[in-house]
Amino acid sequence: MSETRNRVDPYDALLVVSFGGPESDDDVMPFLENVTRGRGVPRERLEEVAEHYYEFGGRSPINAQNRALVANIEHLLAEIGISMPVYWGNRNWDPYLADELTRMRDNGIGRAAVFITSAYDSYSGCRQYREDLADAVAAVGPGAPRLDRLRHSFDHPGFITANADGVVGALGDLPAQLTGRARIVFVTHSIPVAMAETSGPSGGAYVAQHEAVAEAVAAQVAERTGVQRPFDLVYCSRSGPPEMPWLEPDVNDHLASLAADGVEAVILAPIGFLSDHMEVAYDLDTEAIATAKELGVAAARAATAGTHPDFVATVVDLLTERAAVERGEDVTRASVLSLGPAPDVCPAGCCPNLRESRPALFGEDAPPHPSP
Ligand SMILES: CC1=C(CCC(=O)O)c2cc3nc(cc4[nH]c(cc5[nH]c(cc1n2)c(C)c5CCC(=O)O)c(CCC(=O)O)c4C)C(CCC(=O)O)=C3C
Ligand SMILES: [Fe+2]
């Protein structure tokens, strides 16, 4: 059967699943303790990160971004004639996953699609969400909605275009005489090298996916501006104990080496973040921008995919795609990278938890749904 893409059956709802963030000073430490429980993050690192949040009044931008994303998805669904509720739950802060699943159950939601606000493969960006969802479903028990995870969005044309738009927009923020010479510095969250090496179905997916996105975004920017700009992929927000290797170079060190090479202007393009998280607000907009200023390098930050219309449409497209798959139709998957698309269902052992074994949804190794 060929596909019909304006339908969402068999799903009763969409659940947006995110990281969560604090909204006041009093939330900050309990939030950080939730995030780092059992993760071996040194106390000094926690105190340092807490200061970043306090500088912003204890409020991360992430929740407001997610509320806006949900509102935009609801709006687009209504516009294309689909009536479907959209829920939102977080791994690390209110509204928590189990509470949201309980609310869905009470509203009669039997089956829901899950959009995770993380575009790439890694334990932190994929399996950790899947494990926390398995815990939340088990906590709700029989009657919890059945969940299917939408595939990762990194290779979707809407994600690439949203990020290319961000870079083109930021070029306009640089002094006019420098835009032609600006280098694009793509930035993502650093992760432990061991996590990167084991990411995805056969390892190395985290870096490979980011490299492919960087190349595609840079190509689109070149096409639109008529200037072929050099680009790099670098990392921010390193955590963990100092003796543990994490992905490098750090964005600040990289800016110093670019300055030493005579680079006069850069665009910081946070392709690793779907919206303006604290890493973007602090590590890039505050810290890296200050580093660039000290070095005498002109710098502007590209917008994240956020609520860009093409990205909102990406979420809805992934939803209608998966719904068609579940109805047994043959689907065409929008994908612009030679790597993609990522699978709907993760192979067993994909993005492993290197610390302990926990049940995770959405994989060939997923536990059965609690029976009624
Ligand atoms: C790959 C990745 C993503 C992208 C995928 C995704 O989006 O999920 C991501 C997102 C986020 N990370 C976030 C915040 C934090 N991450 C931390 C710690 C860590 N992140 C890691 C990786 C990632 N993190 C890792 C390997 C650690 C070390 C501890 C561990 O192995 O788990 C810590 C502890 C303090 C510190 O160590 O920095 C905090 C506070 C927020 C919310 C920001 C806000 O409030 O706006 C978001 C969206
Ligand atoms: Fe993180």
Q: What is the ipTM of this complex?
A: 0.94
Residue of 235, 239, 274, 356 best suited for mutating to test ligand 1, as the one with most atoms within 8 Å of CB: 239
- Please answer whether residues 180 and 264 qualify as being in contact, where contact means their C-beta atoms are separated by less than 8 angstroms: no
Q: What is the chain's pLDDT, residue by residue, as a tens digit (372 residues)?
A: 567 778 999 999 999 999 999 999 999 999 999 999 988 898 999 999 999 999 999 999 999 999 999 999 999 999 999 999 999 999 999 999 999 999 999 999 999 999 999 999 999 999 999 999 999 999 999 999 999 999 999 999 999 999 999 999 999 999 999 999 999 999 999 999 999 999 999 999 999 999 999 999 999 999 999 999 999 999 999 998 889 999 999 999 999 999 999 999 999 999 999 999 999 999 999 999 999 999 999 999 999 999 999 999 999 999 999 999 999 999 999 999 999 899 999 999 999 999 999 999 999 999 999 977
Q: What tokens were used for 272?
A: 């690793």
157-301 has the same fold as 13-153+307-326 = yes
Domain chopping of the chain, boundaries: 13-153+307-326, 157-301
- Give one word for 328, left, alpha or beta, with left for phi > 0 and alpha for psi -120 to 50: left
Residue with CA closest to ligand 1 atom 30:
39
Instruction: Enter the DSSP assignment of 304.
Output: P
**Ligand 1 atom showing the smallest separation from residue 272 Cα:** 4
Q: Is there a binding annotation on residue 60?
A: yes
CA angle 122, 128, 134 (to 5 degrees): 140
- Please answer whether residues 284 and 226 qualify as being in contact, where contact means their C-beta atoms are separated by less than 8 angstroms: no
Q: How is the chain split among helix, strand and coil, in percent rounded to 5?
A: 45, 15, 40
For 157-301, give the CATH class: alpha beta
- Ligand 1 binding site (Cβ under 6 Å of any ligand atom): 19, 21, 32, 35-36, 39, 41, 45-46, 49, 60-62, 118, 122, 124-125, 189, 191, 237, 239-240, 277-279
- In this structure, which ligand is nearest to the CA of 125? 1
Separate counts of helices (H) and strands (E) for the chain:
12, 8
Question: Among 1, 4, 337, 303, which residue's Cα sits nearest to residue 151?
Answer: 337
Fold of 13-153+307-326: Rossmann fold (3.40.50)
